[in-house]
Amino acid sequence: MSNPYEPPETAPDAGQIVSCPACNQPVSFAAAACPHCGHPFRQSGGDETVATVVPYRNPKALFAYYLGVFSLMPCFGLLLAPFAFVLGILGLRYRRRNPQAHGLAHAWVGIIIGGLSIVGHGVAIALLVMNP
């Protein structure tokens, strides 16, 4: 008998009948779970896991995050930080209206780092102007 946890050498067709690894009953390969015992065949929610880590459904929050991180670079931050701050706020609004979009942490990172970068660059410019 072969190991039931090893993948088959060739994938069966969608209409092909396979054996359930839990109860050994015949089941269609296209089924998501065994109708006899309920054993799941495929993991659902894989796309949801990716959406939680990388909020591709909330691009404003994602761009706020990247702009916030890049705004930490001297000189570039003066240009990028305001956009990170504004996009972070827009990302939070979008997340509030669409909870499935995720991106709460990314939006907050954009707001916080963007805001700190604005303040930091402002202080640096003020020091340069006051002390030539």
pTM of this prediction?
A: 0.60
Give pLDDT, residue 52.
59
Q: What per-residue confidence (pLDDT) applies to 16?
A: 81
Domain boundaries, the chain: 1-44, 55-130
Say how many residues make up the chain.
132
Q: Phi and psi (nearest 5°) for 59? A: -65, -25
| pLDDT digit string (tens) for the chain, length 132 residues | 555 555 555 555 556 888 888 888 888 877 778 888 888 876 555 555 555 567 778 899 999 999 999 999 988 889 999 999 999 999 999 899 988 888 889 999 999 999 999 999 999 999 999 987
**Residues 30, 124: Cα–Cα separation, whole Å:** 62
Task: Find, among 31, 62, 61, 59, the residue nearest to 44 by Cα.
Answer: 31
Q: pLDDT value at position 109? A: 95
